[in-house]
Amino acid sequence: MDSKQPPFPIVNGQYKMPAEPVVRIGIVLAQDAKHEMQFSVPGDGYRISAGSKSAALEKGVVHTISSHGDALSIDHATLPGQHASLRLSPPAGTKAAKAGDGTHVRKIVAGRGFHWQKNIDQTLTDVLEFFSRNGAIVMVNEIPIETYLTGVITGEMSGECPIEFMKAQAIAARSWLLGQPVAPHPSQPYLWCNDDCCQRYQGTGGWSQRAIDAIAQCRGEVLITETNKYCDARYSKSTGTVSEDAEHVWGIAIEGLVARLDAPKGSVAEKFFPVTEANLRDYILGDWTRNNDVYCSPTVVPEETITKYLGRVDETGQYFRWEKKLSQADLRESLTTRGGLTDLATVKSLNPIARGRSGRIRELDVVYANQKGETRTHRINSEYKIRAALSTKFLFSSCFIVSPDLAADGALKGVTLNGAGWGHGAGLCQIGGLGRALKGQRYDEILLHYYSNVRLERIYS
């Protein structure tokens, strides 16, 4: 595949599709460093094939695939020898219908690279393909997009969310996938991965009847921009009240993704649009944060009920307002290992230089003493890098204020960060969308708030 081409190019302005597309999702990646994988199929008629060779798989038997350099083997009795790739296919016409349907695959990485990374068993429907890259297994799920999306909406959030929110989430996820200007993983045998890098997808395990109904009701619906393209409908967990402009997050404007206030007309929060240096402290710490009508606030979506709405690997946390204390040693460790500061001896101060309209910092200066005792300034120039650099566990968001903790001699002992929101904050706010659905809004009202100047269209039936 040409890495400069979008995966779903729009030719001559024609964005409608003749049929539901099939997508290839990376489930096990080379970086997961798996040398052996085990699976079992749920019924008769499943086959494994390598080129022209093919064999039937017995229901319930645990099969092992092993990697050897760039080749693979599956237990000798099934298909002897080594193969460039292996393709596991269900019998024709097999369609997952409920939670847990599909091939059972053991120990798949979830939360890749984040502090909640773990291995979980997953059930995956449709075709699975296996490759080996320098001894590491790569497993790809080839799957119709609607089936995939059922797994996304129950992976990003839970199958217990209100149906109107699920439809909004599905349409955002579908539009995002189709709307990528270039494939996120162009040199791999898959175009998208199964984790937060792309969209969280964990097979059929979290499916609910409500999720299946939501997908059926919004089948083929996507957000189309003013220039007749699929909207690159990015989303995040919580804006914290004001969403962010795409250009302040990724340095480029994206059609549809502009800052909005996530509250009804006349809300107390209106004075915070936009968030500025002058209103920032009140925005993050003011009394108004404890009782308000902002859709992503704990007043609308109480934190004690939120766990039932979140995806299975989310940590429960303070999504709306949060606090994090970092000692001098914490700062040194994270700025050295994740912030690229190789000559750091002591951090002197953290100084926000530029913020977006949601208050997210997009440029942060770290003033420090290097190992020769010289004072230096290092600028971190994106919200993503700031979140990575200030925590070994990835900071919730870059919308925060810094309160230094100084020793008697003026040395920095540590900092307290008080912040708002979780994630980049552009596009759909998942907690806010949930709050809107709980307040009775329809999926189209939810989407047309978070994405500006877009329309909904069904592009295949």
Q: Which residues contribute to the site for Zn ion (CB under 5 A)?
A: 184, 193, 197-198
* Choice between 141 and 292, CB closer to Zn ion: 141
In sequence order, the 6+-apart residues with CB closer than 8 A to the CB of 372 are 343
CA-to-CA dists, residue 255 to 40, 226, 250, angstroms: 44, 8, 13
Beta partners for 234?
none
Return the closest-CA partner of residue 201 out of 111, 104, 306, 105: 111
* Choice between 144 and 186, CB closer to Zn ion: 186
Distance of closest approach, residue 15 Cβ to Zn ion, in angstroms: 23
The span from the CA of 154 to the CA of 206, in Å, is 5
In sequence order, the 6+-apart residues with CB closer than 8 A to the CB of 268 are 288, 292, 293
Distance of closest approach, residue 173 Cβ to Zn ion, in angstroms: 13
- Do residues 273 and 261 touch, judged by C-beta distance below 8 A? yes
* Choice between 7 and 298, CB closer to Zn ion: 7
Q: How many of the other CB atoms lie within 10 Å of CB of 228?
A: 12
Distance of closest approach, residue 242 Cβ to Zn ion, in angstroms: 27
* Choice between 173 and 198, CB closer to Zn ion: 198
- Do residues 380 and 374 touch, judged by C-beta distance below 8 A? no
CA-to-CA dists, residue 83 to 129, 222, 297, 427, angstroms: 12, 39, 53, 44
* Choice between 176 and 396, CB closer to Zn ion: 176
Distance of closest approach, residue 198 Cβ to Zn ion, in angstroms: 3
* Choice between 100 and 186, CB closer to Zn ion: 186
Distance of closest approach, residue 291 Cβ to Zn ion, in angstroms: 39
Distance of closest approach, residue 7 Cβ to Zn ion, in angstroms: 12
Return the closest-CA partner of residue 397 out of 415, 421, 380, 417: 421
